[in-house]
């Protein structure tokens, strides 16, 4: 029997083919981090898990660290566009670093009460990026750039997460961080028991995570993703990541997923 012929590949210039590849890669990255329903919304109550935990490593400033984070298994890489942060980079620098990312690894631009001009500068420099708002931005501020976005929530005893999340209906996820002076978690963990089971958006667990506690965090919270920064840095050097710690962190996340899957 004659085997059916495969269709001929489309004829296109090399540059056009590369452009198409980049477009589809960007679309795929966005779908992975911006789906509107959380596949674990019921899993946090039932104890089952249908998807692996995504990993975001944030605050990268060096090419070698970007490469090491990708090799370790990160799904997203965060670049801080907040001048007061010791991990800050310019929009141009973020673009240089983001160009090192392979397909299916998402760049994330972190803003804190940024001006519209700075946000547009970042979006123009890294057009495929997911935006993360970590300050006092309103939902309207977050929606204005017209890009997928996630919203940080600063957790403490008096914080009403359900009310806060209900006001962020346009967000792709809620990132939960510790409430400390200034913005960002400062490497501090918060009380995970403060997280209700019925958060209406995908949850990104952040705040003081490292290889030694992320397994406990994932098994207790069952987040859609985890976010780490200081927990994978060189001791005493903010913004400089440690390749070994990044590998250990990603391996611990996979171990947590394996334990949950084995438990059924």
Sign of CA dihedral 112, 118, 124, 125: negative
| Cβ pair 77, 57 in contact under 8 A | yes
Catalytic residue among 58, 75, 142, 227: 58
Buried b (16+ CB within 10 A) or exposed e, 139-161: eebbeebebbbbbbbbbeeeeeb
Q: Where are the alpha helices (DSSP H) in 35-143?
A: 43-46, 63-72, 91-98, 116-125, 139-143
Q: Is there a catalytic annotation at residue 177?
A: yes
What CA–CA distance (Å, rounded) separates 261 from 258? 5
What CA–CA distance (Å, rounded) separates 129 from 137? 18
Q: Tell how many helices (H) and how many strands (E) occur in the chain.
A: 9, 8
Catalytic residue among 65, 75, 177, 227: 177
256 φψ region: left (φ > 0), alpha (ψ -120 to 50), beta (else)? alpha
| Cβ pair 167, 139 in contact under 8 A | yes
Hunting for tokens 């940024």 — which residue is that? 114
The three-state secondary structure class of 17 is helix
Active site residues: 58, 177
């Amino acid at each position: 029997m004659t085997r059916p012929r495969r269709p001929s590949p489309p004829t296109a210039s090399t540059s056009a083919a590369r452009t198409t590849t980049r477009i589809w890669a960007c679309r795929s990255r966005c779908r992975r981090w911006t789906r509107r329903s959380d596949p674990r919304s019921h899993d946090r109550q039932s104890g089952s898990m249908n998807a692996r935990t995504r990993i975001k490593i944030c605050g990268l400033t060096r090419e070698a660290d970007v490469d090491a984070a990708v090799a370790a298994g990160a799904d997203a890489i965060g670049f801080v566009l907040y001048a007061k942060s010791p991990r800050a980079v310019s929009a141009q620098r973020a673009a240089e670093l983001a160009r090192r990312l392979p397909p299916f690894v998402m760049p994330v631009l972190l803003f804190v009460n940024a001006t519209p001009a700075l946000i547009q500068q970042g979006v123009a420099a890294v057009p495929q990026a997911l935006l993360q708002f970590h300050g006092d931005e309103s939902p309207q501020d977050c929606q204005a750039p017209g890009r997928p976005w996630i919203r940080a929530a600063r957790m403490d005893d008096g914080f009403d997460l359900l009310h806060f999340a209900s006001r962020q209906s346009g967000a792709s996820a809620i990132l939960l961080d510790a409430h400390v002076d200034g913005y960002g978690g400062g490497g501090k963990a918060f009380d995970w028991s403060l997280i209700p089971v019925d958060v209406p958006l995908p949850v990104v667990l952040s705040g003081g995570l490292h290889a030694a506690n992320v397994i406990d965090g994932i098994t207790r919270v069952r987040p859609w993703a985890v976010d780490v920064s200081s927990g994978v840095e060189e001791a005493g050097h903010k913004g400089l990541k440690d390749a070994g710690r990044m590998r250990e962190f990603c391996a611990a996340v996979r171990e947590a997923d394996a334990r949950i899957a084995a438990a059924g």
